[in-house]
Structure 1
């Protein structure tokens, strides 16, 4: 089912509905996702400021998929930004894999 998300409260309602549909108590869901019950409660109440990484962990853990519908004109720019981000990640990984040279004389 697709729903229109306009604010943090809407995300909270969606998260709560997804959890309840799986017949999970808040503490059990939080434990299986790997976050605190307090954090899950904040998300479900629509707290305005939450940690993005943890929020996506909750969404993933409950099987909630997020799709962002951007204007067509932004699609090409988005693709370009993704290519740049991928290149940065690859360069960083390559630097981590590169052996360190030590000058032992």
Structure 2
């Protein structure tokens, strides 16, 4: 009877310890990008499509803007950050949707 009670307590510990490291080891996936500067809306749609995300962008804030070129292996966050750098835009990724909007202006206080 003593062996059975040991087995009951031991088995859950093995399951938990073998499950936990797998959850910790996950990293955001990186994809390779080779995109020259182009119309920003085209670049954002390409990144969204390639990473299986939806794209919601304020059309007035991206109209007529050119993306920055991108070359290398990046996560989706890094890729978007690179193509919009210096364009006065912010982005957020939530539930596989990329939201792009005008950057919030910070008021200058003296």
The structure whose Rg is larger is: 2
TM range (shorter): under 0.3
More helix by percentage: 1
> 1 or 2, which has the higher strand percentage?
2
TM-score with structure 1 length normalisation?
Answer: 0.27
